[in-house]
A and B are shown apart, each in its own frame.
Chain A
Amino acid sequence: MSLLWAFIVGGLLCVIGQLFIDLTKYTVTPGHILVGYITIGAFLSALGLYQPLVDFAGAGATIPLSGFGHNLAQGTLEAVQTKGVLGIFSGGVEAAAAGITAAIVFGYLAAILFNPK
């Protein structure tokens, strides 16, 4: 069942992005979409609106980049509570550290190993 909901919610989140591209005459590029999703995901999460979606759809909500924003936001909120001002700056990156490092290191490795075709 969790697989089905992951499929449906993940798919729907992608459809919203597709509508942005198609309805804006392709002025919205992948870069815009990624920035938009991470930012909106973070703010929705801070307002408490994203967690229910994660509880419901699991990877369907965390794999889209809005889930990355959700991670940043929740990490920051928790860290502020435990560390105060320091948490404002450290919480987000701490929560997303694995993803960021993986993206950059795997990106680097892939660039070394492969050539564009």
Chain B
Amino acid sequence: MTPDSNEERKKIEEQEYQQLVEQVRPRPNILLNCIWAFIIGGLICTLGQLILDYFRAQGMSMEDAGAMTAVSMIFLGALLTGLGWYDELGKKAGAGSIIPITGFANAIVASAMEYKREGYIFGVGARIFSIAGPTLLFGFVAAVIIGLVKYLTMLW
């Protein structure tokens, strides 16, 4: 038997096995997951709206009130993570607790906390960016691309 046909046979075997795995693999309950994501995600945003309305009522401008809301929500996300509640929420809510800015705070705090035992500089300091880093990186890159395009269209 030539090596070629051996390799091909292995590939066919692998594909057949993959089909078998797909048959056996339990499916997530997408509907239930989505309902939980909707409810928890929605509630977190509603809380954000309440905070936003409060700062607006204090006479803040829309921008300032928005920024204060973000700061408040991040504080809450960080606190709940520290208390060990946010991960319990995440098991049920899935994306509903990841996508709001509280989820961003959760990811940051969770990795910082986890590596505290490796010291404050390279444990907490470096790992705090394991989620924040990529998010900020791609956010900044997107912003610069947008700014550049805007600048070029202004020159036109």
Q: DSSP class of B's interface residues: helix, strand, loop or mixed?
A: helix
Count of B interface residues, CB-CB < 8 Å:
76
Report if B45 contacts A (CB, 8 A). yes
From B41, B102, B132, A107 is in contact (CB under 8 Å) with: B132
Report if B60 contacts A (CB, 8 A). no
A92 and B98: CB pair below 8 A? no
Count of A interface residues, CB-CB < 8 Å:
79
B45 and A18: CB pair below 8 A? no
Query: What is the interface of chain B, defined by CB distance below 8 A to chain A?
Result: 28, 30, 33-34, 37-46, 48-53, 66-71, 73-75, 78-79, 81-84, 93-96, 98-105, 107-110, 112-114, 116, 120, 124, 128, 131-132, 134-136, 138-140, 142-144, 146-151, 154
Query: What is the interface of chain A, defined by CB distance below 8 A to chain B?
Result: 2-3, 6-23, 30-31, 33-35, 37-39, 42-43, 46, 57-60, 62-69, 71-73, 75-77, 79-81, 84-85, 87-89, 91-93, 96, 98-100, 102-104, 106-117
